[in-house]
Amino acid sequence: MASKYVAPFRTGAKNDLNDAVAICVAVTRPQRASLRQIARAIISDSDEHLLSINQRIADQEHCFNMLVSRSHNAQKIMKVAGIGPITATAVIASIGKGEQFDRGRDFAAWLGLVPSQYSTGGKPRLGRITKKGDKHLRTLLVHCARAVISAIGNKTDRLSLWCK
């Protein structure tokens, strides 16, 4: 066997043992394929892999939609602009019904999106943003806000004007 066919299979330094192992590996491999055949095989494998990933994503989205259709609280959360089934189910999983929060700002402060507020005698004092809450949920909500902002365009509704 020509050395140019064996060299790609050699591992380590060139010596008799490594050459013998490389020859054994080269002989057991099928005929050398052309670059075009290798590229086609790689593309075919990639396409199959991509199709399987897309199918798994579709299955997961179906599961989220089923969960949301059965949860009244998730449907309420989805009325907020930008929030979809994935974020709604993540909120429900993190806080349940949300009865532990008096208002939305308390939830946002717990999550680490806004500073915590300590008020005494009508004088509001802002704390700091701790980011102690659920990092995954915070990331989802930030992406929801980005989606809303990117979809504003030339809209003139109240939310769009506030975001501009």
pLDDT above 70 (res 1): no
- What pLDDT does 55 receive? 95
Residue 140 contacts residue 152 (beta carbons within 8 Å): no
Residue 8 contacts residue 28 (beta carbons within 8 Å): no
pTM, two decimals, is: 0.61
- Each domain of the chain, given as residue ranges in start order, spans 12-70, 71-164
C-alpha pair distances (Å), 38 with each of 31, 32, 54: 12, 10, 24
- Whole-number CA gyration radius for the chain: 29
pLDDT above 80 (res 155): yes
Burial degree of 90 (CB within 10 A; 0-12, 13-18, 19+): buried
